[in-house]
Each structure stands twice: as C-alpha cells, then as structure tokens.
A and B are shown apart, each in its own frame.
Chain A
C-alpha cells in the first residue's frame, strides 16, 4: 500500500511538483506512515533519479532546482510529525549560508542553498547583506559545520576575509569549515584568506561541502 504512495512521492520530485509532493506528505501523515520512511523510501528516491539524470546529461539545472524545492516543501510538511514522534532525519551537516555585508546579489547563493538542501544538508540561509557579526552569531547558535559566504563584488569580497579573521580571533576557526563563492572569487583569493573550499557553481559546491566533512 505504502509502496504505491512512495512511488508517487518519488514521481512528484521527478516532476518538480511542489503541490503534489506536499499533498502526498499530508496523506502520509493521515495514513500514519513513518515520515522518515516517506523521505528515505519516497522523496529521496526521486531526488536521486533526477540527480542521476542530471549527471548523465539528460536533465538540466531547472529540473534539479524544482526537484530540490519540491523535496524541501515535502520535508517541511512532515517535520511536525517527526517532532511529534520524537524522530529526526539524519542530515549530512549544518550549513550557515549568506551573501556578505554590502552585497545584495542573491541568486548564486540561493542556488547553492537549494542544492545543499536537496543533497541532505541542513541549511540556514540568512539572505543577503548579512553582517560579519551576525554570521558568526548564527554559526555559534546552530553549531554549524560549514559557513558558506557569497560575494559578487571585489569590494565586498573582502568581507569574506573579515569573517574568517573574526572566527580566528574568537577561537572558532577550527570548529567550522569555511566555503566561499561568487564571480570574483579565485583560487588565489581562497588561498590568501585561508578558506577551506570554494566552487564556481552550485553543483560543485555540494561536492566541496561533502569533501570538507569527509562524506564520500
């Protein structure tokens, strides 16, 4: 019975249909199906299918993003039920994500957030123009594994260094991995500010995040 539902869940992700994925999550709750099972045997199967199609060149970025969003919405619908049951989904790690202070460029940062979420990371997206102090506060608050910062301007890119220096001075640098991104970010810059990783695009960012946390 639930096999049929799981198949539908996977399909809703493949179709990138948030309405359907949320509807099926509600159905699962009303039918008393374990939400963890719904995720692992239902939705995640869909995410993996889209991921494989993407790797093979048969699916494209918009399909990945839509699958990610449908997944996120379904999981959010299931969350109260998980809390009720006292169960928790095993996540790959906690990521605090933002565009640095003085910079309002959002799209690349948000894309990274969607990809990380879809891959099983817990992402705290703080939006754009986020001060260094606030970023560090959040890292402490959620005990983040990764801090990921975006900057699109050479004049705001320096904030990435400011944050790393602040982490250092507060004795937090070794507790959190730092990823940076944005059009002006180069390997040279990454080495200079001693960040742990960087990627030129959102797909690569997932790979880097996994590597940083030793996940194969």
Chain B
C-alpha cells in the first residue's frame, strides 16, 4: 500500500497544483514546482550518466574476449572520462574551448556521416519497394517521391522550360501545402489529444508510468 499509494498521491497532487497554477496564473506555485522538477531532472541526468559509466565499466572489467561488447564499453568509458576532463580543464582555464574542438572535430563529423548514410538507405529501400510490395500505396509513394525530388532539383534549373518548372513548382506546393500539411496537422492534433488524455490519466491515477 505504501509503495503503491505514495507515488500515486504525489503525482496527482503536484499535477493538480500545476494545473491550478496555470489556470489561475499562480506563478509562484508553478515556478516552485518547476524548479523542483528541474532539479530532479538534473539529478536524473546525473544518475543516468553515472549508471551508464558503471554499466560499461563492469562490462569492460568482465572476463570476456576482446572484440566483444567489452571493447565498445571501453571506448565509451574512455570518451566520457576525456570529455569530462576537458570540461574541467576549461572550467579551470587550463584549456580553452577544448570541448568545442571535440564537438567540432569528432562529434559533428560522425553525426554527419551517419546522417548521410540515411540517404543511401532510403534510396535503396525505395528502389526495392516494388519488388517486395506491389501495391497502390507503394506506387503512389514512389511517384510522390520522384516529383518532389525533381521539383527540388529542377525548379531553379535552367534545364527545364519555364512552364515545366512552373508546373513542377505548383505541383510541389500543392503536395506540401495541402496534402502534407493536412496530414501533419492531423498527426499534430492526434499528438495533442493524446497528450491531454495522458495528462488526465496521470492526474486521475489511471496511468502510473513511475511504477513498474
């Protein structure tokens, strides 16, 4: 009872207080709750980082053959230690903007390389689509993709006649402004409604994601 009732009570209480502060513009209560939440979020971030470090450190220390999971864990642990150290040195003014260099020379190229692979994977899946699934939706998908790509590529291209370019631009605007926008708007509405439902369930204690 204690383990199940207390978290539920706290969740409902603070949810209601936040709702009241927003409805009745009582910023002090809301700000206080938000500060406590920010503090808990920071603590959770710190705990997460510590847990990540400990897990991978145990894996690295486990008796496993090299080349397995313990190598990746070692890289992660070492990277964490290095970046943390550089941050300390920057704080202590030992180094200057070293963390920015790590970001610019390591993180950014790696993320860019991963993102660039996405284009190849999407293009290849598009090419195999009709081989795996020959349906109307797959054909429509391919047609749309080709139009968008061509319009984006040839709108400003002098290779196409102006009329074709204009047509392609109108077609692209129609697809994006009407079809895509309506679809996305519907998705956004659904997301909003889901968020409202979840909030109500949390306030009523029907949803307890904080309990296992």
Are chains A and B native binding partners rather than an unrelated pairing? no
Chain B residues in contact with chain A, CB under 8 A? none
Chain A residues in contact with chain B, CB under 8 A? none
